[in-house]
Amino acid sequence: LYFSAQEGILFFYHIKDLQYEMKICADILQPISSLIFSPDYTVLLLVTDQGTVYTYKPAHSGEAVKLLDACSSCFLAADFLTPGNKYCVSVTISGEVQVWLLEDGTCLSKLNLDIEVEVT
């Protein structure tokens, strides 16, 4: 079980029967608004309240890596494009939809919806 705390800490709970073990996986120092696993569960996207997107690879137990940083408009949401986990799509508050290469954060395509986006 992965979850995040207000302080921007990513936790992992290993639960077996009535026992559990907690581990701190990453501390990104920004409140995390959403966690999204890739379809094959090898990559976890962390989207912060401030609009930054990080990747975390549970099998490698390393640090979270900043993939996308909010520029002119905060990222409101991000998700993987399926099949696979090579690309992700994001949307900003200003209505810009972008497709990203997860390997290095290269923006491959963008579309402006010309409308402000909000979470419902």
Q: How far apart are CA 19 and CA 77, in angstroms?
A: 34
Residue with tokens 């930054």: 52
Count the domains in the chain: 1
pLDDT in tens, 37-48: 988 888 888 888
Which residues neighbour 58 within 8 Å (Cβ) at sequence distance 6 or greater? 2, 12, 25, 41, 42, 44
Domain assignment of residue 117, yes or no: no
Domain assignment of residue 118, yes or no: no
Q: Are 76 and 93 in contact (CB under 8 A)?
A: yes
- Give me the residues of the chain with pLDDT under 50, please: 72
CATH of the domain at 108: 2.130.10.10
Domain assignment of residue 119, yes or no: no
Domain assignment of residue 42, yes or no: yes
Residue-level pLDDT at 70: 60
pTM beyond 0.85: the answer is no
Q: How far apart are CA 51 and CA 20, in angstroms?
A: 32
Residue-level pLDDT at 25: 86
Which residues constitute the domain of residue 99?
2-112
